[in-house]
Amino acid sequence: MIRSRSAWLVALPLVLAACAGSPAPAAPSVAPPSTAPAPAASRPIADRSARAPERLVGRPSARPAQPAMAVRYEAALVADHCADRDLTAPPSSDVALIVLDRSYALPASYAPDDLVPASTAGLGGSSGSKLVRAVVVADLAAMAAAWDAAGLGIEIESAYRSFAAQAATFDSWAARLGVAGALVRSARPGHSEHQLGTAIDVTSPGWSGRFGDWASETVEGAWMAAHAWEYGFVMSYPASSEATTCFSYEPWHYRWIGREAAAAHRESGLPLRQFLEQYVRG
């Protein structure tokens, strides 16, 4: 047995040398199977405090399906988007991320097919009768729970508006301010984020204006400015951004884009319209 093993060891280099001149063909590459991303963890809601609520520590809220944060697309959007015209809104990776402005609009026939009353999110009174998309409900419910925990009386004044309802809203502003004034205070029909079913106008008891600064004049407005993004809602028309948004400051108008997108938007420091340009499909 020892002799046989020694002979094999002597012969092994010769065998290897013979094989070296004739390499084996490379194995074909196989693409790894695609996997769906794991669902993101829920964000905690915020804690109650007297005037500047801290974040609540509580059970995570149920999460809706979030808009896809797709790779960046470089689409040729019009540069002069403050011009009033009716261009078809460019497609996006998710309808919740679509760009709407004074140039780009939704069709008159567009209406979400998953509208539900805000009472589904636990809101009562007139707030509960307002319509929102079902995909918004879980985050809206979590935010409403945070309002209650902080002792805030925030109400939804307006949510989904149809094309016809927005036409009536714009006409009422035009009658009050003239067409030129209305164009910066209210979107023309088709151009309103309210038609998406993901935008809400919020207010609080005792605050009466559409010309004041709700974010600085009320505790409720200050809370929304500081915390709404945690629940996927962002202020569409912030102060000092009219050159980019083409609309005047609206501290009561918030649009849901999903928690991940809202966090990215906050990190970017960009006005919402400019941020959403990144997710337009070319």
Q: For position 212, what pLDDT does the model report?
A: 77
Q: What is the pLDDT of residues 172-224, one digit of tens each?
A: 999 999 999 999 999 999 999 999 999 999 999 888 766 778 988 899 999 99
Instruction: Look at strands 87-88 and 104-105 and give their pairing.
Output: parallel
Q: For the chain, what percent of residues have pLDDT higher than 90?
A: 63
What is the distance between the alpha carbons of residues 244 and 222, in angstroms, rounded to a whole number? 23
Mean pLDDT, residues 162-180: 97
Torsion of CA 154, 159, 165, 169, to 10 degrees: 40
Q: For position 64, what pLDDT does the model report?
A: 60
- Walk me through the domains of the chain, giving residue ranges and CATH numbers: 83-279 (3.30.1380.10)
Two tokens, residue 186: 């209210």
Mean pLDDT of the chain: 81
Q: Output the pTM of the full model.
A: 0.74
Q: For position 55, what pLDDT does the model report?
A: 42
Q: For position 75, what pLDDT does the model report?
A: 55
pLDDT beyond 60 at 26: no
What is the distance between the alpha carbons of residues 126 and 117, in angstroms, rounded to a whole number? 10
Q: For position 23, what pLDDT does the model report?
A: 44
What is the distance between the alpha carbons of residues 142 and 47, in angstroms, rounded to a whole number? 12
Q: What is the pLDDT of residues 237-276, one digit of tens each?
A: 999 899 999 999 999 999 999 999 999 999 999 999 999 9
What is the distance between the alpha carbons of residues 208 and 191, in angstroms, rounded to a whole number? 25
Q: For position 135, what pLDDT does the model report?
A: 98
